[in-house]
Amino acid sequence: MYRILVINPGSTSTKLAIFENEDMILSETLRHSSDELSRYDTIFDQYEFRKGVIVDFLEKSGYSIHDFSAIVGRGGLLSPIPGGTYEVNTSMIDELKQAKYGEHASNLGAVLAYELARIAGIKSYIVDPVVVDELAEIARLSGHPELPRKSIFHALNQKAVARRAAAELGKNYEDANLIVVHMGGGISVGAHVKGKVVDVNNALDGDGPFTPERSGTLPLTQLIDLCFSGKYSKEWVMRRIKGNGGLVAYLGTNSAIEVQKRISEGDKKAEIVYRAMSYQIAKWIGKTAAAMRGDVDAIVLTGGLAYDERYMISWLKEYVSFIAPVFVYPGGDEEKALALGVLRVLRGQEKAKIYSKEAEKWQKIMSL
């Protein structure tokens, strides 16, 4: 029997789980408020805080770090690579620590898994990191050659729930056309065409609907004016669009649970802002349906916000049900997908990929 520790750092949460083979025997989600996270200047500054959450979880549940066969973390901002299970290595860790490809909580997944695995003398892995890139050539153009579009999204959960939806439709994932919408701290809307995510908004960098903590796409020239007004630093502007944008900017909270409560108590501003977020998500779904020429088998809604049947899900259904049937998978399958990715490697069904080799191969293909 293999016992696997799963570490999933999100922008608003840390999710932990313990698997014995395919079975999840324990799990916990710790939610982090924007105030709590605003104490840290960089993602790496959160390392001790997030590690403390894991140590507490293990202590509470009576496990030691020596009880595991392997540790798997959510994969962060690396060079673009194909999907799969990767063994964590030092070149990956160096890039994540330096935030070479940007700052996001998922950068801590590999680092935490690696450091804890080192103590236990076992291996650590990541699966389908946020930089999985399957974009169609046409989707890479932004409107200016110096600013190509990038594939940064909830690849792990998008792929996992897309397979679940395809199975529900009686199809193989490789034969299905799906729009998958992950709604967490960030929001990504992916066009899954026959097993590949051929288009998706960059969920991290100012592209897409606004989210619990991000601004999404902003009016471009107004943003440029703000940046050059002389009043703000680059760091300040970055913070305003990532971490302090979206619900945090309008309502002072990254918690949709809190926003729902305010709406049910009659708070009109909370209702307008939350409705605007659903309206923007719906517009991205419509735009993605057009990119798929309307050939959509199902729309899949997932992530933390998909628990909100009363407002978010019912509003979205009003807007987009005309496109295709809507499946709702609240939360998602991230922890299971991480554990299964590692199990395939431990059982010898798949070889773990090597990060630098895959990144190099990808770069060669892209420069053809």
Ligand X SMILES: CCCC(=O)OP(=O)(O)O
Catalog residues that contact ligand ADP under the rule CB under 6 A.
Answer: 10-13, 184-185, 212, 254-257, 260, 303-305, 307-308
Q: How far apart are CA 197 and CA 161, in angstroms?
A: 13
Identity of the residue, 109 or 195, whose beta carbon is nearer to ligand ADP in the bound complex = 109
Provide, rounded to whole angstroms, the least separation between the CB of residue 98 and ligand X: 17
Question: Across the strands, what pairs with 127?
Answer: 74, 85
Provide, rounded to whole angstroms, the least separation between the CB of residue 74 and ligand X: 8
Provide, rounded to whole angstroms, the least separation between the CB of residue 235 and ligand X: 19
Q: Per residue, what are the HEC states of 201-238?
A: CCCCCCCCCCCCCECCCCCHHHHHHHHCCCCCCHHHHH
- How deeply is 364 buried, as exposed, middle or buried, from its count of CB atoms within 10 A (0-12, 13-18, 19+)? exposed
Q: How far apart are CA 85 and CA 43, in angstroms?
A: 23
From the list ligand X, ligand ADP, none, pick the one residue 157 interacts with, judged by a Cβ distance below 5 to 8 Å according to partner type. Answer: none
Nearest to 292 by CA among 196, 220, 364, 209: 196
Give 133's contacts (C-beta < 8 A, 6+ positions apart).
Answer: 80, 81, 82, 150, 151, 362
Q: Is 318 left (phi over 0), alpha (psi -120 to 50) or beta?
A: alpha
Provide, rounded to whole angstroms, the least separation between the CB of residue 310 and ligand ADP: 9
Give ∠ CA 57-59-63 in degrees, rounded to 5.
95
From the list ligand ADP, ligand X, none, pick the one residue 151 interacts with, judged by a Cβ distance below 5 to 8 Å according to partner type. Answer: none
Residue in 4, 5, 7, 11 binding ligand X, rule: CB under 6 A: 11
Q: How far apart are CA 337 and CA 157, in angstroms?
A: 7
Identity of the residue, 11 or 288, whose beta carbon is nearer to ligand X in the bound complex = 11
Provide, rounded to whole angstroms, the least separation between the CB of residue 203 and ligand X: 4
Instruction: Identify the DSSP state of 242.
Output: B
Decide: is 104 part of the binding site for ligand X (CB under 6 A): yes
Provide, rounded to whole angstroms, the least separation between the CB of residue 326 and ligand ADP: 17
Interface with ligand X in residues 166-185 (CB under 6 A): 184-185
Decide: is 152 part of the binding site for ligand X (CB under 6 A): yes
Number of residues that bind ligand X (CB under 6 A): 14
Where is 159: in which H helix or E strand? helix 155-168
Provide, rounded to whole angstroms, the least separation between the CB of residue 192 and ligand ADP: 19
Decide: is 323 part of the binding site for ligand X (CB under 6 A): no
Identity of the residue, 203 or 263, whose beta carbon is nearer to ligand X in the bound complex = 203
Q: Which residue has the tokens 């007004």?
A: 229
Decide: is 159 part of the binding site for ligand X (CB under 6 A): no
Decide: is 203 part of the binding site for ligand X (CB under 6 A): yes
Q: What does the binding site for ligand X look like in residue numbers (CB under 6 A)?
A: 10-11, 104-106, 130, 152-154, 184-186, 203-204
